[in-house]
Amino acid sequence: MLSRLKLKTLLWMLGSVVLLVGGVGFRMIRRGFSARDNPSWIETFVARSARSMAVPSAAKQVGNPITNTPEHLAEARAHWADHCAVCHANNGSGNTTIGQNLYPKAPDMRLAASQKMTDGELYYTIQNGIRLSGMPAWGQTGANDEDSWKLVLFIRHLPQITPQEEREMERLNPKGPEERQEELEEERFLNEGQTGDQAPTTPTQHHH
């Protein structure tokens, strides 16, 4: 049996939560549900708590089986540029058109909120995604997808990423239709210039 004091404290806490959630809900209804807004602090808190609870305790304790070598880091950097940068940016800032228009917005992976996650948590998030967000599930199922573990290495490297690495990654980023068209036009222009520089050939004489 709960003592009267504990019961009052519990009821007060429940009442506070109901009022808080109700107030946030009322505010959201008045403002609408636009994805352009920034999540409120309570939404952020609930989302982070739910993300943490969604990762099994055993998964959090799993260490990265891939050694941190320049070769593995280069592979992960190329993988990130091709698959992840469209939302997270090459440097992990999340400052991209898609990343900033998600709800919640793509996080800055260089900051403590992401860097303090264990390797197992990062791997589990990559593999399984995050419900009710823009983060999909990637990689092969199971606990030994090497590409995903290499991405964990790269996430750890993001706070120290160099401008040179970012420039190298730009060449590997997926190109949109306009960018591809520009590249084709540049290539066509260069090819025409090379053709124009060639010495004229002597016409072939035909004998009848």
Domains of the chain, by residue range, sit at: 57-175
Residues 61, 118 contacting (CB under 8 angstroms): yes
Q: Whole-structure pTM over 0.75, yes or no? A: no
Is 207's pLDDT higher than 50? no
Least Cα distance to 72 among 160, 159, 156, 141 occurs for 156
Q: Grade residue 14 by pLDDT with cuts at 50, 70 and 90.
A: low
Is 19's pLDDT higher than 60? no
Cα 95 off chain centre by:
10
Average pLDDT over residues 117-126: 96
Average pLDDT over residues 13-18: 60
Q: What is the pLDDT of residues 89-121, one digit of tens each?
A: 999 999 999 999 998 899 999 999 999 999 999
Q: Grade residue 204 by pLDDT with cuts at 50, 70 and 90.
A: very low
Least Cα distance to 155 among 130, 184, 118, 196 occurs for 118
Mean pLDDT of the chain: 82
- For 57-175, the fitting CATH number among 3.40.50.1820, 1.10.760.10, 3.40.50.720, 3.50.50.60 is 1.10.760.10
Is 166's pLDDT higher than 50? yes
d(CA 155, CA 79): 12
Q: What is the pLDDT of residues 39-50, one digit of tens each?
A: 777 777 776 777
d(CA 34, CA 50): 22
Is 201's pLDDT higher than 80? no
Is 58's pLDDT higher than 50? yes
pLDDT value of position 24: 54
Residues 108, 114 contacting (CB under 8 angstroms): yes
Other beta carbons within 10 angstroms of residue 198's beta carbon come to: 7
Amino acid at 171: R
pLDDT value of position 128: 92
- Dihedral of CA atoms 20, 24, 30, 35 in degrees, nearest 10, equals 180
Average pLDDT over residues 23-27: 56
Amino acid at 32: G
Q: Where are the beta strands (DSSP E) in the chain?
A: none
Q: Grade residue 64 by pLDDT with cuts at 50, 70 and 90.
A: very high
Other beta carbons within 10 angstroms of residue 123's beta carbon come to: 27
